Amino acid sequence: MSGNRFNAYQDHGVGIGLRIPHYNHIFSKKPVVDWFEIISENFMCDAGRPMAVLDQILEQYRVVQHGVSMYFGSVTEPDPEHMKRLKTLVRRTGTPWLSDHLCWGSVDGAYTHDLLPLPYTWEAVERTVARVKQVQDYLEIPIAVENVSSYAAFTGSEMTEWEFLNEVVERADCGILFDVNNVYVSSVNHEFDPMEYVNAVPAHRVAQIHIAGHSKYEKYILDTHDHPVIDPVWQLYDRAIERCGRTPTLLEWDDHIPTFDEVHAEALKANRYLRKHSGELAEVSR
Amino acid sequence: MSTQTASQSMSLAELQRQMAAAVMAPLTADEDMRANAPDGRAITDRS
């Protein structure tokens, strides 16, 4: 059986992020796409063009919601109005699961609009688990937490990032949106073996996988989502699929966005690995 | 590149308040990051 209880046992295949520059192409050409991931915050309104677009998409495509401001690790409570609007959108889209980031980004009502890393401490585990459970209970759908790329680490961390992720998802009994590009980016920035991370993730909890490109600078890598996926990231994806089996996969491309066909073609490269580990291909060839 | 930030003996709440203040601090006139956090401590880069 493909899928697991964290993605509602769905075999969604390979999707791409729904982005404004592609609207005209999608509505005029009606391309075949396994699914679209939407950024929840872009559609948390009552009416207007965003909702008209969303309804049009929902008529033809499967949609999964991905958020960027839940801040599971923030110490301050989530905004009740935000949660209410999110639940309304969840009902509207029928998203089978909802993902957001394993990070923090707001405190005392101030929003940094950034995905900031947590110290990997037991205090942060407890805080994050409580928040994930709270959100999962309120929204009444499976939650998947996504590992973020990071550019700072804390001397007070008491465990590795993957140990922290494992503690959170086991205690909260939630799923994982496993971003293999983020693993690669952080592995370079913090000098760890990315394959050790991939091998440590509890495969039975991986609801979805993100792939993306990034930008390499002299001293660090930045998770810019503006390039094709590089080979080392495909290798991490290959291993992740080998461990997790067929898993809904999503290509993120958020800046210098090329044509719809280019983005979709890049995403569909994932099918090589999905087929490989389904026994349809003996070996991946590029 | 990996900026090491102290968090030992600091609560998660205090860490987030201090880091938010640093992250939201205005850039310099040259649009670079400031060399020091709001509390005066240097923002170091171990690379």
Structure confidence at residue A102 (pLDDT): 98
**DSSP string across A203-266:** GGGEEEEEEE--EE-SS-EE----SPPPHHHHHHHHHHHHHH-S--EEEE--SS---HHHHHHH
β pairing state of A63-66 and A98-101: parallel
| Max Cα–Cα distance, chain B, nearest Å | 35
Structure confidence at residue A226 (pLDDT): 92
Task: Classify the C-alpha dihedral A179-A181-A184-A185 as positive or negative.
Answer: negative
Q: Match 């590149």 to its residue by tokens.
A: B1
Segments in chain A below pLDDT 50: 1, 281-286
Closest residue in A to B17 (Cα–Cα)? A107
Structure confidence at residue A183 (pLDDT): 98
Structure confidence at residue A283 (pLDDT): 46
Q: Do B13 and A75 touch (CB under 8 A)?
A: yes
∠ Cα B25 B26 B31 (to 5°): 130
Rounded to whole angstroms, the Cα distance separating A50 from A56 reads 10
Structure confidence at residue A281 (pLDDT): 47
Encode pLDDT of A113-138 as tens digits.
999 999 999 999 999 999 999 999 99
For chain A, the 3-state helix, strand and coil shares in percent, each to the nearest 5, are 45, 20, 40
Closest residue in B to A151 (Cα–Cα)? B2
A155 contacts in B (CB within 8 Å)? 4-8
pLDDT band at B44 (very low <50, low <70, confident <90, very high): low
Structure tokens at A158: 């008491």
Rounded to whole angstroms, the Cα distance separating A185 from A127 reads 26
Strands (E), chain A: 14-17, 36-39, 63-66, 98-101, 104-107, 110-116, 143-146, 152-154, 175-179, 206-212, 215-216, 221-222, 249-252
∠ Cα A134 A101 A254 (to 5°): 140
Identify the three-state secondary structure at position A105. Answer: strand
Q: Do A107 and B23 touch (CB under 8 A)?
A: no
Rounded to whole angstroms, the Cα distance separating A280 from B12 reads 48
pLDDT band at B3 (very low <50, low <70, confident <90, very high): low
Q: Is B14 on the interface with A (CB under 8 A)?
A: no
Contact A174, A205 (CB under 8 A): yes
* Helix (H), strand (E) at residue B3: strand B3-5
Structure confidence at residue A286 (pLDDT): 40
Structure confidence at residue B31 (pLDDT): 86
